[in-house]
Amino acid sequence: MVKEVNNTSVMDNCGFVLDSGASDHLINDESLYTDSVEVVPPLKIAVAKQGEFIYATKRGIVRLRNDHEITLEDVLFCKEAAGNLMSVKRLQEAGMSIEFDKSGVTISKNGLMVVKNSENQLADIFTKPLPAARFVELRDKLGLLQDDQSNAE
């Protein structure tokens, strides 16, 4: 959960994908932790593909920093995860408001903007034609293995 917001901030390129389907915050890079503990036995996590699972082996605190800091608690570490996920559900439980619009996403708390991001619109890869370089960049961020650039202009 988001524990603390030191000030309002614009926080781009934090390395996380905001995921409305994620039950928990999830990372695949344990160096992001400022504090963590082992999860014994590992926690089984269902993924989007039915019948498949990954396993979280640590739980801890991640501090995201640009000019200001956001602290995420109970962040799960799973080396098999395709990327770092920020859970919309957990942010809302922490009192955050999340607003999606055509310019991107804004996360706020008590009416103050915490995060505004319009650069990493990963859904663009599925929703509009893109220049080849942008398509490849987003495909790589999503961890898609297919090398088909048919969606690129």
d(CA 68, CA 11): 8
Burial class (CB in 10 A: 0-12, 13-18, 19+), 105: middle
Instruction: Name the active-site residue from 12, 19, 24, 148.
Output: 19
**Token pair for 89:** 């559900």
Active site residue 19: yes
Helix/strand/coil for 100: strand
Closest to 94 (Cα-Cα) out of 108, 106, 84, 83: 108
The residues carrying an active-site annotation are: 19
